[in-house]
Structure 1
Amino acid sequence: MTAILTALGYAGLTLLLGSALARRWLTPGRPGVGPGFAGLALLLLAWGGQVAVTLSTLGMTGMADVLDYVTTTATGRAMLTGLLGATLLLAVEVAAWPALLAAGMAGVTLWGVAGIGHGEGHGAWVRALHAVHAGAMTVWLGGVLALTTARRLPPDLARRFTPAALGSVITLAVTGLLMATEHLTALREWVDTPYGRALLLKLALVAAALLAAILVRHAFARQAWVRLALSREALVLAAVLGVTGVLSTTAPPGGHSEHAHGSASVTVSKSRSVPRCADPETRPHRGTDAPCVVLDLKPQDAAGTPLPAGERAPTGRL
């Protein structure tokens, strides 16, 4: 379910940013703002669903729990940032304000999106990589969708879009490689882990999308079956989004954060006899029915050997 919701979120981002880019540059005046509103709705649905799944798993379903989650957790704040940027971008598009302002709001939206999933917990550099990666994908797929739905498909549209598409592919390759080296530190992890195999599948689909893009270019040159070729490319790129949803919800071999190391046992108690954590400073949520989460953290050194009691773990490690 989480993977499906994540893929829906990426689809919403593509509709929102891709339609704005097409309207401003590729196919001026088209499409209207309808796809942008649909994209915002998908973002709300996807992120709202993710919050609901997370909190329901912990038995935290009160409104106070939801408010606490979206305001006190890194993921929740990233969602709020993304929704704020998306809403302001739509306002800019409806009012037809300058493109520079629209680009700024798109950047805010992408920064919020990058803070959800693997971009969280790795610092500003890796989060920026995720933001640029997502932005390049929206340019590529958004442009293809705009061309597919355009009323006319003259050759100059292909000439206009090709540099942007090529730039997106190069950006995706560079940022993807950098992110892969962040999460996959050994070659065997590419085939021995679910994360590595999902990434290989995504790379295969991207290669198929590149082949489809070449066929689109030839179709434009011949002015024959152009829309069919564009539809094939769009379908392959949609499959890439689906695999990205799976990839984003699959834990990398080294953990979710660059500091993730060590072990912890977590006990969640929903007993009425323990309605809340005893220490207000460690209680994650204020609701009187919130379960108590008890962490038993075991410090380890860089090799994974448990440390003696009282000895500090290396910086950033548990």
Structure 2
Amino acid sequence: MGALLAGLSFAGLVLLLGGTFARRWLTPGTPRLRCLGAGLGLLLLGWCGQVTVTLTTLGFTAPADVLAYLTTTGTGRSMLLGSIGALVLLAAETGGGKWPVSLGAALVTAWGVAGVGHGAGHGSWVQALHAAHTLAMSVWVGGVLAVLRARPVNAALARRFTPVALASVLVLTVTGLLMSGEHLTTPAQWMGSLYGQVLLVKLALVALAVGAAVLVRRAFAARRPQVRLHLAREALLLVAVLGVTAVLTTQPPPQSSHPAHGGSP
């Protein structure tokens, strides 16, 4: 159940944050606002489910208990902050607000997400790593989905997205290595803990997704008709990465005593 709820929140982030990036800088006006709204709904649904499961397990089910959890715990406050940022982001997109407003709201949302799960309890530096990781993954996946749905799919669109995709991969690599060093301090923990094993699966899928992205760029350069098929393969691999990440959030790191309540993608 925990992995499913985390997966819902990750899907919501991709649709909301990644969709906003695509609308603003990649495929203007696409995806539609209802897609961003669906992203907000999934994010809130995932978080509400996580709060419900946590409090039910502890035996606290009264409305006052929910309010206390959201206002007095680090995870609850991070959820509130992320929800506020997500609401402002959707409002800015709906009202045609300036891009600095959308950017600020996206940063607030990512910071809130970073305080839920493995990013919690490790200080501002680690939370910042999780926030950057969240933004980079959302932009990469959201951009790939936007290009895949574009009509027509052309080389100019691919060229516009390529630098952003490369930057996202770079940020994911750097932040991922730094976060891994925070949670896994010895080589034995990579293979000797379930957290480390799931993380290795995630890294393998990310590597495959990068390889698929290279094939997409080559297909665009050669003007091959199978370019959409290559894009779909990259998108499926990235969705698989999000799924494995959802499972990862349910596994406590070997060096952490903090229970997982969902984390950054």
Q: TM-score, normalised by structure 2?
A: 0.95
Deviations 1:208-228 (A, max 9, x none): 101111111122122411221
Structure 1 residue matching 2:253: 3-state secondary structure:
coil
CA distance in 1, matches of 2:240, 2:154: 27
* 1:121–1:256 contact (8 Å) kept in structure 2: no
- Name the counterpart of 1:189: 189
CA distance in 2, matches of 1:84, 1:256: 28
Q: Which amino acid aligns with 1:225?
A: Q
- Name the counterpart of 2:57: 57
CA distance in 2, matches of 1:150, 1:34: 17
Shift of 1:135: 0.4
Matched, 1:255 2:263: no
- Name the counterpart of 2:210: 210
Give percent identity, aligned residues only: 60
Q: Which amino acid aligns with 2:29?
A: G
Matched, 1:231 2:195: no
Q: Which amino acid aligns with 1:90?
A: L
- Name the counterpart of 1:137: 137
CA distance in 2, matches of 1:32, 1:252: 38
CA distance in 2, matches of 1:35, 1:114: 23
CA distance in 2, matches of 1:199, 1:173: 13
Structure 1 residue matching 2:251: 3-state secondary structure:
coil
Q: Which amino acid aligns with 2:239?
A: A
Q: Which amino acid aligns with 1:247?
A: L
Structure 1 residue matching 2:120: 3-state secondary structure:
coil
Deviations 1:260-288 (A, max 9, x none): 9xxxxxxxxxxxxxxxxxxxxxxxxxxxx
Matched, 1:156 2:156: yes
Structure 1 residue matching 2:117: 3-state secondary structure:
coil
Deviations 1:192-234 (A, max 9, x none): 0001101100000000101111111122122411221111111
CA distance in 1, matches of 2:193, 2:158: 39
- Name the counterpart of 1:66: 66
- Name the counterpart of 1:26: 26
Structure 1 residue matching 2:29: 3-state secondary structure:
coil
* 1:195–1:247 contact (8 Å) kept in structure 2: yes
Matched, 1:245 2:246: yes
Task: List alignment gaps of at least 5 residues for structure 2.
Answer: 260-265
Residue correspondences, number: 258
CA distance in 1, matches of 2:248, 2:163: 28
Shift of 1:59: 1.3
Shift of 1:61: 1.0
CA distance in 1, matches of 2:29, 2:35: 13
CA distance in 1, matches of 2:191, 2:181: 14
- Name the counterpart of 2:178: 178
Name the structure, 1 or 2, with higher relative contact order (CA <8 Å, separation 6+).
Answer: 2
CA RMSD of aligned residues (A): 1.1
CA distance in 2, matches of 1:87, 1:241: 23
1:265-304 correspondence to structure 2 within 5 Å: none
Shift of 1:103: 0.3
CA distance in 1, matches of 2:98, 2:86: 16
CA distance in 2, matches of 1:74, 1:93: 29
* 1:118–1:256 contact (8 Å) kept in structure 2: no
Shift of 1:70: 0.8
Shift of 1:7: 1.4
CA distance in 2, matches of 1:223, 1:63: 57
- Name the counterpart of 2:118: 118
Shift of 1:247: 1.1
- Name the counterpart of 1:295: none
Shift of 1:256: 4.0
Task: List alignment gaps of at least 5 residues for structure 1.
Answer: 261-318
CA distance in 2, matches of 1:116, 1:31: 27
CA distance in 1, matches of 2:151, 2:6: 31
* 1:136–1:172 contact (8 Å) kept in structure 2: yes
Q: Which amino acid aligns with 1:35?
A: C
CA distance in 1, matches of 2:229, 2:84: 36
Q: Which amino acid aligns with 1:186?
A: T
CA distance in 1, matches of 2:224, 2:52: 48
CA distance in 1, matches of 2:257, 2:100: 34
Shift of 1:71: 1.0
Structure 2 residue matching 1:254: 3-state secondary structure:
coil
